[in-house]
Amino acid sequence: MSQIDVSTEKCRRCYSCIQTCPSEAIKREKGNIKIIHERCILCGSCIKTCPQDALIYDSGVYQVEEFFRNNEKTIAVLDPAFPGVLDIGTPRQLVTALKKLGFTEVWEGAFGVELISRAYRELLHKDTKKTIISSFCPALVFYIQKYLPQLIPNLGQIISPMIANGRIIRKVKGPDWKIVYITSCLAQFGEMTAPEVEGAIDQVITLLEARDLFNKYGIDRRKQKESNFDGPKPYLGRIFPVIGGLYKSMGESFDVLMDEISVTGGRVRSLRALNQLVDGHIDAKFLDFTFCEGCVDGPFVDKDIFVLGRRQIVARYTKQEMKRQNPTEVMVEVTKYKDIDLTRTFNNMEQQLPNPSEEEILAVLEKMDKAPPDKNLDCRACGYPTCREKAIAVTQGLAELEMCLPYLLEKTRKIYHQLEKSHEKLQNSHNELEQAQEQLIKTEKLASLGQLAAGVAHEINNPLSTITMFSHIIRDTLEKNDQRYEDIQLIIDEANRTKDIVQGLLSFARERVLRPGQTNINDLLEEILGLIINQSLFHNIKIEKVFEPNLATTYADGTQLKQVFLNIVLNAAQALNGNGIIKIVTEQIIGNGHLKITITDNGPGIHPDIMSKLFDPFFTTKEKGTGLGLAISYGIIERHLGEITVQSESGKGTTFTISMPILEDAEKLKQSNSKISTQ
């Protein structure tokens, strides 16, 4: 039996094929769409609906071309639907084109309809109590054989027009001729090899494949001369491809059973009618059904022509040809083949799937978060009509949970949320690592510079003391109005300034031992403000204090902290150039046991390019600055287990923030700082 498969390169897993497959022959497995061949009825619904043209099938084209290469005598039998599918040029131009392609003769398949319609007429005139189902549509036959085997006895035991044509040609031409049926139907590929009728047809190709062969070999149908069809000529059988075509081909006189005949077409209507027949809701003599909307609506048709247009083309062609013919002559031709065996049997090919328990179905629905009655969406995005049918398919191995779009979106949302959390944790860890690395580099830099500074300061102090001492001696021997007196005084002043720098170097290098005691930060700030408030630099500067009244005390070295606060406040005043606002805020951070001190000025701010260098030793923007004040302050706060940071924006001021832990005793400082002593 011919097979359909899925091209994984083209398939986009839209599930359109699953939604339209009437036999549950398509499943998703490991993320890919797969065909369950033993369940497939070759109706071609998947091929018709796939927007990516991802369904492929076993084509007979290569075998037909092999017939031509071997000079085999080959007959093309055109399915009655051909005028509505290949509506380019005239039917007789098509005959010429097919012969140029390599076919020896071209027959109209509608003649087979003349034979089987006569057989159906005789069957329905018999006194039978059961409902007869037409058996010419192979897709419908395969469905009954596999899924409604209880209806096999109802199938009319009559071959299809394709098989009838094959048996006629075998009788007329003998076994040496090759017979190729050209059709719009995929199921006829499977019917060709069905064991009940095997051997009547050598190969099947589609009408669209015939068109592709014309293009391949440069044969333009519209430029061909007309040629007559070979073989016996049909009459009413040409109307067979439209819905109810078999009944119409029986002749206008067949009216006595009109009330007991049901004619319909299309996958949904036909299958519903068959199931109603099983349930006992239909009581009819004859059901003339087709799986498609007639053979003109097969999977291999020109999609640009609507089905109604194809029906009209076939109807016009039927009328035109009937005008050329004598019906009596057709009946004579039919009589010639009255000994052709038109009967067949149908094997039971039943396909059973396991019936899941209610508990199994509910378990799958729970996993998809689609448990009834409130959560079942029935959105059909998975290809199944309801969430329940999808759950049943999952238990039967036909579907996967991930086919549910809402389920997949929710799962993706959760995964994304987890990834966001993981990314946030990773980013925090990365930031902490970067900060620790920067801190380590800064600490190592300060330690190295401290050692260097201690050595330099020691070496400078000795000659500096000598210079200062002898300068004083020389100055004291001179009169004050002596020009040399001013020069010597300049030497003394510069030596003293150098001494201050050296003292700063020593302070930076030595990391003086902390002498902690109970300290109130508010009191320290009040002390330093009392020292500086009367200085001329602060006359036009407004000091705003926002001190938390019940600020907790902590163990700290008050002398060294005053040096830090004084340094920052003086820097702010110098940045303001003696005119502006300095705001000092203290607060206790509830929860993490820290004190927070912020010192803000509304000065010109700090340029972003130098922000990263503020705490580097010897970096200064002042004309006579040493660049050690903030470096020393950084070290003092660090030894207090705290942190000092700065925020600034050009033109909008600067804020220094100091955070320190609230320590209940000096032991915690000792444990964290081996240089601290309680002396």
3-class SS letters over 267-284: HHHHHHHHHHHHCCCCCC
585 and 449 inside one domain: no
Q: Is residue 190 part of a domain?
A: yes
Domain boundary among 373, 403, 433: 403
Share of the chain above pLDDT 70, in %: 85
Question: For residue 415, what is the enclosing H or E element?
Answer: helix 405-476
3-state secondary structure 195-208: CCCCCCCCEEEEHH
Give the span between the Cα atoms of 289 and 270, in whole angstroms.
6
Q: Is residue 627 part of a domain?
A: yes
Strands 32-35 and 26-29: antiparallel
Give residue 203's pLDDT: 96
Average pLDDT for 474-496 = 82
CA atoms within 13 A on the CB side of 344: 26
Give the span between the Cα atoms of 57 and 191, in whole angstroms.
14
CA atoms within 13 A on the CB side of 615: 21
Contact 508, 500 (CB under 8 A): no
106 and 251 inside one domain: yes
Domain boundary among 510, 538, 565: 510
Is pLDDT above 60 for 257? Answer: no
Is pLDDT above 90 for 513? Answer: no
Give the span between the Cα atoms of 151 and 134, in whole angstroms.
12
Bigger pLDDT: 435 or 516?
Answer: 516
Give the span between the Cα atoms of 39 and 56, in whole angstroms.
17
Strands 4-6 and 55-57: antiparallel
Residue with tokens 């596999």: 146
Handedness of CA 399, 403, 406, 408 (dihedral sign): positive
- Which CATH number is 462's domain given? 1.10.287
Query: pLDDT grade, residue 329 (50/70/90)?
Result: confident
Is pLDDT above 90 for 85? Answer: no
378 and 439 inside one domain: no
Share of the chain above pLDDT 90, in %: 35
Bigger pLDDT: 137 or 532?
Answer: 137
Residue of 658, 675, 664, 626 lying closest to 562 (CA atoms): 658
Give residue 156's pLDDT: 93
Among 152-161, 308-317, 355-364, the minimum mean pLDDT is found in 355-364
Beta-sheet strand order (sheet of 261-265): 132-133, 286-290, 261-265
Give residue 301's pLDDT: 85
Q: Which segment, 66-75, 246-255, 567-576, is predicted with the most confidence on average?
A: 66-75
Q: Is residue 53 part of a domain?
A: no
Give residue 404's pLDDT: 65
Q: What is the dihedral of CA 526, 529, 530, 534, to 10 degrees?
A: -160
Residue with tokens 């293009």: 215
Domain boundary among 278, 309, 336: 336
Average pLDDT for 526-530 = 88
Give the span between the Cα atoms of 172 and 121, in whole angstroms.
25
Q: Is residue 523 part of a domain?
A: yes
Average pLDDT for 89-96 = 92
394 and 468 inside one domain: no
Is pLDDT above 90 for 25? Answer: no
Q: Is residue 411 part of a domain?
A: no
Spatial neighbors of 43 by CB under 8 A, at least 6 apart, are 22, 23, 139, 142, 143, 186, 187, 267, 291, 292, 299
At 572, list the tokens.
């702010």
529 and 584 inside one domain: yes
Give residue 259's pLDDT: 55
Q: Is residue 216 part of a domain?
A: yes
Residue 170: other Cβ atoms inside 10 A: 16
526 and 499 inside one domain: no
Query: pLDDT grade, residue 40 (50/70/90)?
Result: very high
Contact 81, 306 (CB under 8 A): no
Summary mean pLDDT of the chain: 84
Q: Which segment, 84-98, 151-165, 297-311, is predicted with the most confidence on average?
A: 151-165
The domain in which residue 579 lies consists of: 514-679
Residue 331: other Cβ atoms inside 10 A: 12
212 and 285 inside one domain: yes
Q: Is residue 349 part of a domain?
A: no
Handedness of CA 260, 266, 271, 272 (dihedral sign): negative
Bigger pLDDT: 103 or 373?
Answer: 103
Give the span between the Cα atoms of 217 and 65, in whole angstroms.
11
Give residue 679's pLDDT: 40
Residue with tokens 């004579």: 332
Give residue 184's pLDDT: 92
Among 263-272, 331-340, 556-565, 623-632, the minimum mean pLDDT is found in 623-632
Residue 668: other Cβ atoms inside 10 A: 15
**Structural domains of the chain, count:** 5
601 and 493 inside one domain: no
133 and 271 inside one domain: yes
Condensed to tens digits (0 to 9), the pLDDT of residues 176-205 reads 999 999 999 999 999 999 999 999 999 999
Q: Is residue 161 part of a domain?
A: yes
Is pLDDT above 70 for 459? Answer: no
Query: pLDDT grade, residue 678 (50/70/90)?
Result: very low
193 and 332 inside one domain: yes
Handedness of CA 637, 641, 642, 643 (dihedral sign): positive
At 63, list the tokens.
């075998």
Give the span between the Cα atoms of 394 and 389, in whole angstroms.
9
Say whether the peptide bond before residue 22 is cis (omega within 30 degrees of 0): no
Give residue 487's pLDDT: 83
SS3 69: helix
Average pLDDT for 485-493 = 83
At 644, list the tokens.
């000092």
Is pLDDT above 80 for 671? Answer: no
- Which CATH number is 371's domain given? 1.10.15
| Side chain identity at residue 599, one-letter code | I
CA atoms within 13 A on the CB side of 298: 28
SS3 584: strand
Spatial neighbors of 640 by CB under 8 A, at least 6 apart, are 514, 556, 557, 561, 660, 669
Give residue 453's pLDDT: 62
Give the span between the Cα atoms of 219 and 161, in whole angstroms.
29
Spatial neighbors of 563 by CB under 8 A, at least 6 apart, are 632, 633, 636
pTM recorded for the entire structure: 0.61
Residue 637: other Cβ atoms inside 10 A: 21
Is pLDDT above 60 for 258? Answer: no
250 and 297 inside one domain: yes
Residue of 447, 445, 452, 442 lying closest to 643 (CA atoms): 442
Condensed to tens digits (0 to 9), the pLDDT of residues 595-633 reads 999 999 998 888 887 777 777 766 666 655 556 678 788
- Ramachandran angles phi, psi of 233, nearest 5°: -100, 135
314 and 364 inside one domain: no
